[in-house]
Amino acid sequence: MHLLTSGPSFALLLALHTHAQDRTTEAGEAAIDAPTLECAPYSYPPVVAALASFPPIWTPVTSVPANDTEGRAKFLAMNASIPNITPKGTMAGDFSSFTPTYSTTDPDCWWTFHQCVTPKFKGLNADIANVPEPRTLGYGFDDGPNCSHNAFYDYLTAQQQKATMFFIGSNVLDWPLEAQRAVADGHQICAHTWSHRYMTAFPNEGAFGELWYSMQAIKLVTGVTPTCWRPPFGDVDDRIRYIASQLGLETIIWQFNSNDWEVGLNGVTTDQVQANYDALVANASAGMFNSAGAIMLTHELNNYTMQTAMDNYPRLAAAFDHLVPIAVAQNKTQPYVETNYTMPDFAACACPSP
Ligand SMILES: [Zn+2]
């Protein structure tokens, strides 16, 4: 019996199914509900057309070339005034040969050393490690856009919950329609560097490029330019803070760490991650955030981290009075360089208040 006389073959069914997916628009991509289909690569013409003006995806930035006229000019304009601080360790985060040589007085306000958030270099603002609004969680996720985030973003939408998404530039160019979904859903976007390495290891030009090209990728794909960033692994010092501030980026760190990204690495277990969520809920219930709110590090890194966020959402929403994007908790109503986009201030935010 010939296959086609008994109905379409599996391959044909798959082809028909795939054909039904619209992978050319944000809405089409957002409607896909099978993670394997979500994560099949696609080509987005505006990114293809612009690739030559970006560094290689996922490769640490080494230079801002002369044909990037705007980036080169911005770097040269700030280069002479960047604090004279030597790069530390390696981009993979090996500081074993650097730390023994570093003064215990922490002259660079190096977060990785003792979680310093108050810069010593004159004129730099303190990092945002918590939010001013009491009983509030500045709700956010690092490392996106993740190609299989539709179930997670659908969940947030169903809860009418918005968050701050810290996007890696290389992920934005790999998954541009997923990045667009964050803006379409009303989330706030901050930058999370180009290649997600330890920033204090980069020479000045590379550090500038890691921030600059992540901003440019977000701008190209979503139309907005972020005014905030989070250092991967929290690795920031006054030299990197200065470069970020010259690019108009506020440095956002955290006080609480779910360690969700570390499960399966460094011996971290899912039980420990749950204990970290539980501790934040207990602290909130005990009144720790009655005068100022909290920020916890969580990720849209993989299906485990996203599922854990969903599993814990009802308890966080019950323990805090408000879960809001960090910009909302800062009453920062204009989160981007572009002035045609606003977010509500805290009082006006129609945020869940269980
Ligand atoms: Zn990260």
CA 141 to ligand 1 centroid distance, Å:
9
How many Cα atoms occupy the beta-carbon half-sphere of 134 within 13 Å? 5
pLDDT of residue 21: 84
Pick the catalytic residue: 149, 187, 196, 299?
299
pLDDT of residue 263: 97
CA 279 to ligand 1 centroid distance, Å:
22
pLDDT of residue 353: 52
CA 165 to ligand 1 centroid distance, Å:
11
Q: Is 278 a catalytic residue?
A: no
pLDDT of residue 12: 44
Q: How far is CA 278 from the centre of its chain?
A: 23
pLDDT in tens, the chain (354 residues): 333 334 444 444 444 455 578 999 999 999 999 999 999 999 999 999 999 999 999 999 999 999 999 999 999 999 999 999 999 999 999 999 999 999 999 999 999 999 999 999 999 999 999 999 999 999 999 999 999 999 999 999 999 999 999 999 999 999 999 999 999 999 999 999 999 999 999 999 999 999 999 999 999 999 999 999 999 999 999 999 999 999 999 999 999 999 999 999 989 999 999 999 999 999 999 999 999 999 999 999 999 999 999 999 999 999 999 999 999 999 999 999 999 999 988 988 755 554
pLDDT of residue 58: 98
Q: Is 68 a catalytic residue?
A: no
> Is there a contact between 65 and 72 (Cβ–Cβ < 8 Å)?
yes
Domains and CATH numbers, the chain: 23-87+127-349 (3.20.20.370)
CA 265 to ligand 1 centroid distance, Å:
14
What residues contact residue 338 under an 8 Å CB cut-off, 6+ apart? 223, 224, 225
CA 201 to ligand 1 centroid distance, Å:
16
CA 69 to ligand 1 centroid distance, Å:
29
pLDDT of residue 351: 59
CA 192 to ligand 1 centroid distance, Å:
7
CA 200 to ligand 1 centroid distance, Å:
15
pTM: 0.93
pLDDT of residue 1: 33
Pick the catalytic residue: 108, 127, 142, 235?
142
